Structure 1
Amino acid sequence: MYLVTVLRNLLSILAVSSDSALHTPMYFFLSNLCWADIGFTSATVPKMIVDTQSHSRVISHAGCLTQMSFLLLVACIEGVLLTVMAYDCFVTICSPLHYPVIVNPHLCVFFVLVSFFLSLLDSQLHSWIVLQLTIIKNVEISNLVCEPSQLLKLPCSDSVINNIFIYFDSTMFGFLPISGILLSYYEIVPSILRISSSDGKYKAFSTCGSHLAVVCWFYGTGIGMYLTSAVSPPPRNGVVASVMYAVVTPMLSLFVCSLRNRDVQSALRRLRSRTVESHDLFHPFSCVGEKGQPHQISTSANPAP
């Protein structure tokens, strides 16, 4: 599942970057979302695989902080990008004539940079707070992932300050993005219903439906993971929730948002055909004669002038 997620995301990025027809804001955001998916699953799954094969259950303090910081960074980037893509859908459907002016390349780059710096600030703030804790040796975490909610609930930490920070952070990177997405779709759905063409309605619903499915998977599994951590479930439930969040969600996001898109599928087919043609062009036995027989390529001691 990890290899499928990484390779298919890389293929989608390559298809979008190599096809000029896909050089639009929506596919620019989709490419960045693919990078975020790769980073999201790479922050946890390789360590899971190594620990499973070596039967080791130990991670260093620095390694745990690094994993937590990188996981928070890419998770927040993905959440902000999903909100930006909802805004892109809103402008596309509700103001199609003003779309090239509103969603211009400078604004797209600005959105991506803002999402990165806000996410970096959040991850570093988490790391700074965890570093303030008096970490004792041999602390056991009932999970496969170093989650901020579990690290901040260590018995040696100040629970009041940590709870305030968790609520504030959940509001900033959970409640506000979800509110923005819901507000966008509150305006999008009536606009789609007013479209007279059935093909236009189908295309709009297909694009928005794929995006909404990814939003539900991403936030649904994330909220489920944090709820299971909050109510202190049996360790097995927390592990299953983390595996769903770190492994299954990025793979399903790829299949729903990218591989179901007809334009991306067409770009992948064109990329494959160009690869095959270039391979045939440089292959020494690929020349075909008039009757379908391959020409024999030979060298001569006395070449003709």
Structure 2
Amino acid sequence: MATRTTSSPRTLVAIVVGITVMVALMLLAFAAPALNSGPKDLPLAVSGPEQATSKVTAALDKQAPGTFDVTTYATEQEGAEAITDREAIGGITVGAKGVTVQTATGAGTAYTQVLKGVGAGLEESGQKVTYVELAPTTTDDPQAVGVSTLGLPLVFGGMATAALLLLVYRGSTLMRFVGATAIALLAGFVATAILQLGFGALDGDYWLTSLSISAGILAISATVLGLGALVGAPGIGIGAVTMLFVANPLSGLANGPQWLPGVWGEVGQLLPVGAAGSLVRSVAFFDGGGAISHLVVLAVWIVLGVALAGLGVARQGRGTHVATAEREEALASA
């Protein structure tokens, strides 16, 4: 007996076009930020006497127009604090003994390379230049490759956690979030053990770094759990698209958010992957400097996920109540 197919040519066309559009959007999501990234409006701390900082700022504008967004400070210490608080990618200090270029490789190796290029130019002009590293990476991973590899583990860990818990615990929102928290904690400690203890890629407090990664995984899984509880399977799809095709390419994990074009770096820091990556950098290389804002972002996403799940439970409760009332009414009329 021949098998009857219900698929029409129109369905096939829709599938072909749909997949092609998804591939194109995926390419755009990852390629556009990467191809348009570079040194533009990088926040730079310039410190020293006002006359000296004015000359440095003017020289930078002339030699590298548009590369730096300069903020001036009265002393070298103030400039250094701005760097370690993650307000600047590095700094230049002008003093009686010459120029000091302050780098923070932990923020992203690309910034250090740019600043060393500036320092080389100053040396060619006859200036005595000293280099000071304020946030070094590890000797085993001087390029901080370990941090840049966190994107997919964060997204997959959060997405897989949410999908499995939505499937297994169909009627228990509490168990879903308890499971998500437990998985995030364990995964964070394991991931940090691999990167820090195994490869020597991180150099901070092991427990705080682990909790930073855990917070990133939980923020993603909580959001997807909430979306899944509210709208079902489409919610998982919305979460996957948001985290994989938006949050991941805009995260700035490789070189930091300031390397991304326009406002995209700022947008990426408001999403879980970018916030988690920057939080890990703050804890691992800056002794927690600038960590609070990233913690707040992750906490907001976790709370949002819980709130969405609560709305989903309330919605189901109303649906059950209506269905029960309709059955009782039907029985009474019979």
Q: TM-score, normalised by structure 2?
A: 0.29
Name the one with the larger helix percent. 1
Which fold has the larger relative contact order, with Cα–Cα distance below 8 Å and residues 6 or more apart in sequence? 1
Name the one with the larger strand percent. 2
